[in-house]
Amino acid sequence: MTHITNRLHNIGIIGLGYVGLPLAVEFGKKFKVVGFDISNRRIQELAIGNDHTLETNTDELKNVTRQLSQDTGVYFTSDVNDLKSCNTFIVTVPTPVDQYNNPDLTPLLKATETIAGVLKKGGIIIYESTVYPGCTEDDCIPILEKKSGLTYNVDFFCGYSPERINPGDKTRSLPTIKKITSGSTPESAVIINQLYQSIITAGTYLASSIKVAEAAKIIENAQRDINIAFVNELAKIFSLLEIDTNEVLEAASTKWNFLPFKPGLVGGHCIGVDPYYLAQKATSAGYYPEIILSGRRINDSMGVYIADTVVKLMLKKQINIWHADVLVLGITFKENCPDVRNTKVVDIIREFKSYKTNITIYDPWANCEQVQHEYGINCLDELPLNKTYDAVILAVSHQKFLEIDFKSLLKQPGVLYDVKGILETSIVDGRL
163-173 pLDDT, tens digit per residue, is: 988 777 777 88
The pLDDT of residue 323: 92
Q: Domain spans of the chain?
A: 10-208, 218-298, 301-431
Report the distance separating Cα 281 and Cα 134, nearest Å.
9
Residue 36, amino acid = F
Q: What is the DSSP string of 33-78?
A: EEEE-S-HHHHHHHHTT--TT-SS-HHHHHHHB--TTSSSEEEEES
Cβ atoms of 33 and 27 within 8 Å: the answer is yes
What is the distance between the terminal CA atoms of the chain, rounded to a whole angstrom? 59
CATH class of 10-208: alpha beta
Report the distance separating Cα 192 and Cα 124, nearest Å.
9
Residue 100, amino acid = Y
172-187 pLDDT, tens digit per residue, is: 889 999 999 999 999 9
Report the distance separating Cα 270 and Cα 158, nearest Å.
23
Report the distance separating Cα 25 and Cα 66, nearest Å.
11
What average pLDDT does this structure show over 109-138? 97
CATH code, 218-298: 1.10.1040.10
Q: Is pLDDT at 326 greater than 60 in this prediction?
A: yes
The pLDDT of residue 153: 97
Q: Determine the Cα angle at 264 with ends 379 and 129, to 5°.
A: 80
Q: Is pLDDT at 244 greater than 80 in this prediction?
A: yes
Report the distance separating Cα 379 and Cα 328, nearest Å.
9
Q: Is pLDDT at 288 greater than 60 in this prediction?
A: yes
Q: Where are the alpha helices (DSSP H) in 205-289?
A: 210-240, 245-252, 274-284
User: Exposed (0-12), middle (13-18) or buried (19+): which is 336, by Cβ within 10 Å?
Assistant: middle
Q: Is 140 a catalytic residue?
A: no
Q: Is pLDDT at 129 greater than 90 in this prediction?
A: yes
The dihedrals phi and psi of 218, each to the nearest 5 degrees, come to: -65, -35
What average pLDDT does this structure show over 367-373? 93
Q: What is the DSSP string of 72-126?
A: SEEEEES-GGGGGG-SEEEE-----B-TTS-B--HHHHHHHHHHHTT--TTEEEE
Cβ atoms of 101 and 276 within 8 Å: the answer is yes
The pLDDT of residue 7: 77
201-223 pLDDT, tens digit per residue, is: 999 999 999 999 999 999 999 99
Beta bridge partners of 416: 392
* Average pLDDT score over the chain: 94
Residue 24, amino acid = A
Nearest CA among 340, 322, 348, 330 for reference residue 401: 330
Report the distance separating Cα 325 and Cα 39, nearest Å.
38
Q: pTM of the prediction? A: 0.92
The pLDDT of residue 68: 66
What CATH architecture applies to the domain 301-431?
Answer: 3-Layer(aba) Sandwich (3.40)
6-26 pLDDT, tens digit per residue, is: 778 999 999 999 999 999 999
Cβ atoms of 357 and 325 within 8 Å: the answer is yes
Give the total residue count for the chain: 432
User: Exposed (0-12), middle (13-18) or buried (19+): which is 350, by Cβ within 10 Å?
Assistant: middle
The pLDDT of residue 1: 55
Active-site residue, from 135, 140, 270, 337: 270
User: Hey, do 10-208 and 218-298 end up sharing a CATH topology, with the first three levels equal?
Assistant: no
The pLDDT of residue 8: 87
Q: How many secondary structure helices (H) and strands (E) does the chain include?
A: 15, 13
